[in-house]
């Protein structure tokens, strides 16, 4: 019988503090008519991208409360960007911190929540006659970059 190892946080106490940046991106596919409503400001729930940006920032700050083994870190900056295409919205979330551990999970969490917020904000426009979402999908979520720089390097 194999003994299962219990989950646990990684001890980072011996690591030095460095500036850390991670960027995650992904996209949500939407109906062309939904994109048109989003661009004209006529979606039922209001400003989609502004809400998604705020949701992403909040999600980044709450990552250790949702992902159990993530360390709490001091967030120095969060940058959220959207590119609206004809049938999709691409999102990018960059997170910066000075600390002992990376910020890629925080960027991924912020990105996922941003895309989910877009979905929630436009679901009335995306539903078909059965109440389903046959066209809507979130995909291509990746970590685009992860960097660290010592604190004595000039920017």
Kindly name the residue from 11, 88, 106, 120 that is annotated as catalytic.
Answer: 120
144 labelled catalytic: no
Quick one: residue 108, left, alpha or beta (phi over 0 = left, psi -120 to 50 = alpha)?
alpha
SS3 48: helix
- Each residue of 63-80: b (16+ CB within 10 Å) or e? bbeeeeebeebebeebbb
What are the catalytic residues? 120
């Amino acid at each position: 019988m194999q003994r299962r190892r219990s989950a646990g946080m990684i001890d980072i106490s011996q690591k030095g503090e460095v500036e850390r940046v991670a960027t995650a991106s992904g996209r949500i596919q939407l109906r062309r008519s939904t994109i048109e409503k989003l661009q004209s400001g006529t979606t039922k729930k209001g400003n989609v991208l502004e809400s998604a940006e705020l949701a992403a920032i909040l999600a980044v700050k709450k990552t250790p409360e949702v992902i159990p083994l993530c360390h709490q870190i001091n967030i120095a900056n969060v940058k959220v960007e959207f590119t609206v295409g004809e049938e999709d919205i691409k999102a990018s979330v960059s997170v910066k911190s000075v600390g002992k551990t990376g910020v890629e999970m925080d960027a991924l969490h912020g990105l996922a929540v941003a895309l989910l917020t877009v979905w929630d904000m436009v679901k009335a426009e995306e539903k078909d006659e059965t109440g389903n979402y046959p066209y809507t999908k979130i995909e291509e979520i990746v970590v685009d970059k992860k960097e660290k720089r010592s604190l004595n390097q000039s920017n």
